[in-house]
Amino acid sequence: MKCIIEQSRIDDAVGVLIEKGTTLVKILSNDRKRIDTFRSVEWEEFLKITSGLKKAEWIKNHQNKQIWRKKSSEKVIVTKTFKTLLSKTQDLDCLSIGAKEIPICLIVNGNIKKFSELLRIIYPYEEIKLFADKIEKKNRPLIVVWITGFKPRGDDSRPDRGACTTRKNVIW
């Protein structure tokens, strides 16, 4: 922040922040009792990969890859279509990116077509069909971030909790 305020070079500060964040992630992941996230050495290896496609391949071919599973809380009010999409997407055995219960998954290979078909079936809107066509045509690994909103009372600001969004509020 100081560099931004003083309009000085931020490269060094950004580098230090990235290094500190990476170190913290490695420490925390190694301290977990359950093996539901990458470990220190795996994070190091993963973060050295510069290409997104290569990172997706690394995850897909990783000997201890984990199938993504996101628990859904009944406290979270979401539409029936969202519940259906979440459930049907989990049936595709998507891969986790670092930790299997975070609201982020990796869809690869033949599952891209299946996911785009799900979108077309569950959301029969022209905008969604165009988006699904684009996904299927590219047929590249796809990262999906499952954000349903925030709790209306503000007592829990985690983005995977709370009020649902309408299709008009979705950002592609």
Range of the domain at 109: 61-169
The model's pTM: 0.71
Q: Is residue 109 part of a domain?
A: yes
Q: Is residue 157 predicted with pLDDT exceeding 70?
A: no
Q: How many CA atoms lie within 13 A of 146 on its CB side?
A: 28
Q: Is residue 151 part of a domain?
A: yes
Q: Is residue 86 part of a domain?
A: yes
pLDDT at 153: 58
Q: Is residue 17 part of a domain?
A: no
pLDDT at 163: 40
Q: Is residue 137 part of a domain?
A: yes
Task: Return all residues near 65 (Cβ < 8 A) that are at least 6 apart.
Answer: 59, 95, 96
Check if the beta carbon of residue 86 is closer than 8 Å to that of residue 119.
Answer: no
Domain count, the chain: 1
Q: Is residue 37 part of a domain?
A: no
Range among 19-23, 50-54, 107-111, 116-120 rated most confident: 116-120
Q: Is residue 77 part of a domain?
A: yes
Q: Is residue 33 part of a domain?
A: no
Q: Is residue 150 predicted with pLDDT exceeding 70?
A: no
Per residue in 109-118, pLDDT (tens digit) is 889 999 999 9
